[in-house]
Structure 1
């Protein structure tokens, strides 16, 4: 078992911890979605990304998602978590790197 923690209150500019999970039918849309999500955070499972972003980037992401999916057959869930938290990892997990993500 492995754990990691976050505290969005520590940063001067308030940040938001996100968990984005998705089920996108089309390979083309799914690959484009994953590529976009790599600009916000990091993949933790095949259809799940974690990210720590500013409020402005969070709003930008929420505007982008509807344009990347087909609402009649795709599903995206964005969980917004603030404050402190803990993630417990079990089984095969890639090493989580604490790195800054910049979108230009």
Structure 2
């Protein structure tokens, strides 16, 4: 399943800055950063449960915001990119 994860972490305190880094690190383990606080992830249902648990146990729900959008099977038809493209096809072949 294809996900779009967005977050806004309050970084007024040192703890907030630490949470911001932790959230980004967790998201990077499951997908790719496409903007500062936006990640695209391709996960199976079990990975989604793990990812959601990790993120929810990291954020401070009183000051932070987290959104997880499940884009469905036909997600490619729903994505339009304009300007500089900074991502790759997460489900395509990767040549190293």
Q: Same fold (TM over 0.5)?
A: yes
Matching of residue 29 in structure 1 with residue 19 in structure 2: yes
Q: Quick one: which of 78, 83, 91 aligns to 1:91? A: 83
**Which is worse superposed, 21-30 or 78-87?**
78-87
Once residues 47 and 98 of structure 1 are traced to their aligned partners in structure 2, the CA distance between those partners, rounded to angstroms, is 17
2:26–2:51 Cα contact (<8 Å) kept: no
SS of 2:7's partner is strand
Q: Does 1:81 align with 2:71?
A: yes
Q: Mark the runs of 5 or more structure 1 residues left unpaired by the alignment.
A: 1-15
Would you identify which runs of 4 or more consecutive aligned residues in structure 1 move more than 6 Å?
A: none
In the alignment, structure 2 segments of 5+ residues that lack a partner are: 11-15
How many pairs were matched up? Answer: 85
RMSD: 1.5
Q: Name which structure has the greater RCO, CA cutoff 8 Å, separation 6+.
A: 1
Larger strand proportion of the pair: 1
